[in-house]
Amino acid sequence: MSQNNILLESGTNELEIVEFYMSEKPRRGRADVEHSYYGINVAKVLEILRVPELSDLPEISHEAVLGAFNLRNRIIPLVDLGRCLRKDVVESEAPKVIVTEFNKTTTAFLVSGVTRIHRVSWSQVESPNRYVASLASNSITGVVKIKDRIIYLLDMEKIVGELSPAAEISALEAPDAVEELRARRVRVLVADDSSLARNMMRDLLVEAGVRVTLASNGREALEQLQDWKRQAAAAGEPLGQWVQAVISDVEMPVMDGHTLTRRIKEDPVLRHVPVVLCSSIVSQNLEHKGESVGADAQLSKADIHELPEVLLRVLS
């Protein structure tokens, strides 16, 4: 499976997910092994393999890292996803390895099995409540109901981040951009379904003197923009007095970032607001998707420290 085979058009609010499952020990009073079903965006999946021969990794600091294997001259760590999710997983007859790439990092995950690929609309993806999120170590970002079962979309960035915590990020690493942003008193709208990512971007931008409004998905962001547009018109002011830029994730329940960008650029008033797509799936292979809907800039979350400079660039 390759990212180049993704046929979805940008801005249609659709995604394709690889459905896989974890086989867990039966709960009290039940005899059969139970399957929990999960999903991951096809855009993050490089390949699906049988379990390869592993080599030890020196100085492994997390119990979920089982070792590493060689895939076409790339050394890739293999992570036991069941341990990450704190599941009591039983041995599977035909376990599979899902090789992923996002945030410029390649990681493989051991799962009990892979079933199929589903094409769904982001409008079908519901945000999890607090109880549902807690079922998988607070790593669920969306819930999809398909036929006879529920599929949980996982926050793979959070899972990988917990394996190797990132260094603290500071806007002061770009002093010239910070000075200019503070002088302009910029206000931006940040849309991201991950509270961890929202807060990270907020803290980074606030440190740079930027005023930040937060939204948890594309629809919420679009409604906020439409509200500002109405208020600006009523006050006889340009929209730029209310918001100067939008920073959005791509993968979000209800409405994704590509659709949000397309809706902004189709609006005769909102189209003048620059949009920066900041996502773990932004890469050379997928940048054309953001370009096709009119994004003014795109940034991988792996390079989030560059956000103040990118923001200043689109405002210039």
Candidate ranges 19-28, 31-40, 73-82, 163-172; pick with highest mean pLDDT? 73-82
CB-CB neighbours of 189 under 10 Å = 23
What is residue 92's predicted lDDT score, i.e. its pLDDT?
82
Q: Collect all residues with Cβ–Cβ distance below 8 Å to 32 and sequence separation of at least 6.
A: 26
- What average pLDDT does range 305-316 have in this prediction? 93
d(C-alpha 103, C-alpha 112), whole Å: 25
What domains, with CATH codes, occur in the chain? 3-163 (2.40.50.180), 171-315 (3.40.50.2300)
With a cut of 70, say whether residue 4 has pLDDT above it: no
- Residue pair 37/19 in contact (Cβ under 8 Å)? The answer is yes
With a cut of 90, say whether residue 120 has pLDDT above it: yes
- Is the pLDDT higher at 62 or at 187? 187
First to last CA, the chain: 40
Which is nearest to 314 in space by CA: 280, 276, 278?
Answer: 276
The predicted model scores a pTM of 0.85
d(C-alpha 106, C-alpha 79), whole Å: 11
3-state helix, strand, coil in the chain (%, to 5): 35, 30, 35
Name the E strands within 133-287.
140-146, 149-154, 187-191, 211-215, 245-248, 275-279
pLDDT in tens, 230-264: 999 999 999 999 999 999 999 999 999 999 999 99
What are the distances in angstroms from CA 54 to CA 68, 95, 99, 136, 165? Answer: 5, 15, 14, 26, 24
Which is nearest to 114 in space by CA: 40, 197, 3, 8?
Answer: 40
pLDDT in tens, 51-98: 999 998 876 678 899 999 999 999 999 999 999 998 888 888 889 999
What does DSSP assign to residue 1? -
